[in-house]
Structure 1
């Protein structure tokens, strides 16, 4: 009765089903791991944002690569803003997500002669992209800033191409090594996203989202349901095939047993 399972059609169908089950299970675990990574990422952001602000010099130094675990860590720094060496970072999205403009990057000169880069926020580009924009001045004199520690941007990590030949004091990446060469002084690794003192312009950057968990868990469950549905579908097709064959056999038997008409 089940010899039809050895036909080419059913062998291929069975092999495809056996292949799909582990693939779908693995895809489900892939989505589960993405969900777990997102949850861990959110916890890291929340923990670092809520941490007591630490002096930035305790977490980074010239040439230091800020580890991922220190991203968004609340830090403080005391010094004076060096507006003469202020630069803008091109093609950055406004906090509302609707416009493209500049990030304003201002070195903060520390008491020991070193500097730390401070991302003061976002401004509009204006009409002339080759001219350095008008930027509201930061507080003069010695100031203590509070912000979120971030790592240096690179093309590899961000996907942003580091273009050359840009107008004066315009850059594509926030990178302490690049700025240290330009400033000819030691610059702490990474940079600070300014929180305090806040100003209306440049527009401060929002905290990173650390509440949403996305839809990866739903996708994981979906893939596992699909995996469970494959053998169910295979059994349904098998039962349908058996029913069709039984009906065909019954019809054949009835035709064979039908009386032969006698010629008159």
Structure 2
């Protein structure tokens, strides 16, 4: 007796099953990709929550030497340093903040690191709204004397391949910032060593006990603790992958119950046998007549 589901071995159904499996695998991989993005974002939010409001510590407590990379666990940790700014102010143009068009004011701070030469540390001092026709001199003014600076540590960015305008950088890269601020690259006679693996986001700054952050300059805000929609997208992809198999089962059950479903094609041997029987019946009927 022929099985109700024998049609599953037909070419049409094998093609449907293969397509469903292939698409479901793609959906599962896309779901995993969104899940990975969700986990990465959750780790970043957790790091901000753990480090952002900690009390400042000396820079050398978190970074062992000027050329060291920043430990990922120390991102957003506040440090307090004393030093003076080198050279001229540098501008990082057109890097938006919280959806606002913004230019960043950048300086290179020669930090007293205790024993040995000073460390030259890149400091993102804050931002103002991008406006080509406005005078931003007040926001770009650097303190001229010894300052006490609190900043939150961030990993240095890769150098920009773009041609740099005078007094500008396109990424927060210490080497390019030092060149833009002083007109020269680091050398042994400079009296300081460039911290190449870090930069700081300004949190507070005083000179002689007085606040020297310009009123026209906005400090960078706390990162938004938003996990985004990655988890929702991951679940949607996985549900869609499972839904493909559910749809296959429903379609197969419906076709098995449908009396209008095409009958299975009989084998040629069965057809030949039936024709032989019919011929014998006809021959018997003729002879009887």
Structure 1 length normalisation: TM-score? 0.78
Moved over 4 A (4+): 246-249
Q: How does 1:33-112 map to 2 (within 5 A)?
A: 33-60=36-63, 61-82=65-86, 84-93=87-96, 95-100=97-102, 102-111=103-112, 112=117
Q: 2: distance between equivalents of 1:125 and 1:19?
A: 49
- Which residue in 1 is equivalent to 2:27? 24
State how 1:1-264 maps to structure 2 within 5 Å: 1-60=4-63, 61-82=65-86, 84-93=87-96, 95-100=97-102, 102-111=103-112, 112-127=117-132, 134-136=137-139, 137-154=141-158, 161-164=160-163, 166-180=164-178, 182=184, 184=186, 185=190, 186-189=193-196, 190-197=198-205, 198-209=213-224, 211-245=225-259
Q: How far, CA to CA, are the matches of 1:214 and 1:28 in structure 2?
A: 15
What's the offset of the Cα at 1:180?
A: 4.4
Tell me the SS of whatever aligns to 1:77.
Answer: strand
Please report the RMSD computed on the Cα atoms of aligned residues, expressed in angstroms: 2.7
* Stretches of structure 1 lacking an aligned partner (at least 5 in a row): 156-160, 250-264
- Contact 2:108–2:178 under 8 Å retained in 1: no
By how many angstroms is 1:49 displaced?
A: 0.9
SS in structure 2 at match of 1:85: strand
Work out the CA distance in 1 between the residues paired with 2:194 and 2:54.
24
Pair 1:188–1:5, CA change in 2 (3 A)? same
Aligned-pair CA distance for 1:138: 3.8
Q: Secondary structure at the match of 1:51?
A: coil
Q: Residues 8 and 41 from structure 1, CA distance in 2 versus in 1: closer, same or farther, beyond 3 angstroms?
A: same
Pair 125,220 (structure 1): closer, same or farther in 2 beyond 3 Å = closer
Unaligned runs of 5+ in 2: 206-212, 264-289
Question: Which has the larger Rg?
Answer: 2
Structure 1 position 233, deviation (Å): 0.6
Q: Tell me, yes or no, if the aligned pair for 1:63 and 1:177 is still in contact at 8 Å.
A: no
* Distance in 2 (alpha carbons) for counterparts of 1:241 and 1:205: 63
Q: Secondary structure at the match of 1:173?
A: coil
Q: Is the 8 A contact 1:85 1:106 kept in 2?
A: yes
Please state how far the C-alpha of 1:183 moved relative to its aligned partner: 5.4
User: Is the 8 Å Cα contact of residues 179 and 187 (structure 1) preserved in structure 2?
Assistant: no
Q: CA separation of 1:18/1:124 partners in 2, compared to 1, >3 Å: closer, same or farther? A: closer
TM-score by length of 2: 0.71
